[in-house]
Amino acid sequence: MHFDLTDLRLFLAVVDAGSITHGAADVGLSLPAASERLRDMEANGSVQLLERGRRGVTPTPAGEALAHHARLIQRQLAQMRGELGEHASGLRATIRLVANTASIAEFLPQRLGDWMAVHPRVDIELRERQSIEIARAVSSGLAEIGILSDAVNTSGLVLRPFAIDRLVVVMPRDHALAAEKKITFAEILHEHFVGLASGALQDHIDAQAARLGTRLKMRVRMRTFESICQMAAQGIGLGIVPETAARRCGRSAGIVALRLTDGWATRQLSVCTRSLEELPPPALDLFEHLAAR
């Protein structure tokens, strides 16, 4: 039985994401290449590692055993890289960072830019994921640092406060609800919406609608918060964006913003890692920088 490090990283990514498609993306492989590697792993070991279903994949008992040992190997590799990095001179380093949509769009650009400007030999591999996927990625060693919300189980992770993310509803100033200061999600589910084309935040919003037994009436999906605000100002549909984005766009776009009172719409964002002792020096420095503010 022979597995290389790419096999093990792929397998862990697939198990943690519950999806071969997402797992392949996490390790930078195409779906056909990832599927072939997984089939070869099962064939070489003469054992089934994954149960494949319509809703994704789950590990078999043999797969659970492999995932356990793969995580141990990932931790040892991280420790090795950290120790070697202390002795290396003039080499580039890469830090794997996973974060949710609001962090990437609203908070990270300045904070990350400040740090990278004084660390020219460090590159950041940044990926956008939902908070539950971020917790899994950091726990399993697929990422050194994560930024996630307090809505998920973070047991076993080291957490530091990062930011408060509040979601608001944006609409034109002449909308029938524009005079309100706050509103619940259930009160606007009959409206049409403008949403994000993709991303963890839109998945989060869609999931809240599904919990209430419905789907959002989506007229169009845009790529940025600014575009959502512009479309909302023209009466195309309501938008749900971070409060920081609504404030930035408000005057120029001609919108009003109503605060969502649902608990899921106000999130404490935290920067997390599995262990401060395991972080290579550059990653530890970045973690402390992100947590300091």
Task: Show the domains of the chain with their CATH numbers.
Answer: 5-84 (1.10.10.10), 89-162+268-291 (3.40.190.10), 164-266 (3.40.190.10)
| Spans of the chain below 50 pLDDT | none
CA 114 to chain centre: 21
Whole-model pTM above 0.75?
no
Q: What is the CA radius of gyration of the chain?
A: 21
Q: Which residues contact 242 (CB under 8 A, 6 or more apart)?
A: 102, 105, 106, 165, 166, 167, 168, 225
Q: Which residues pair with 196 in a beta bridge?
A: 222
Q: What is d(CA 162, CA 282) in angstroms, rounded to the nearest whole number?
A: 19
| Model pLDDT, residue 68 | 85
User: What is the per-residue pLDDT for 254?
Assistant: 81
At 167 the pLDDT is: 95
Beta bridge partners of 147: 99, 271
pLDDT of residue 126: 94
| Confidence at residue 4, expressed as pLDDT on a 0 to 100 scale | 85
- Measured CA to CA, the distance from residue 265 to residue 164 in angstroms comes to 10
DSSP states along 24-54: HHHTT--HHHHHHHHHHHHHHHTS--EEEET
Instruction: Name, in order, each residue with C-beta under 8 angstroms of 169's C-beta and a sequence gap of 6 or more.
Output: 183, 188, 238, 239, 240, 257, 258, 260
Q: Can you give the pLDDT at residue 187?
A: 96
Q: What's the pLDDT score for residue 17?
A: 86
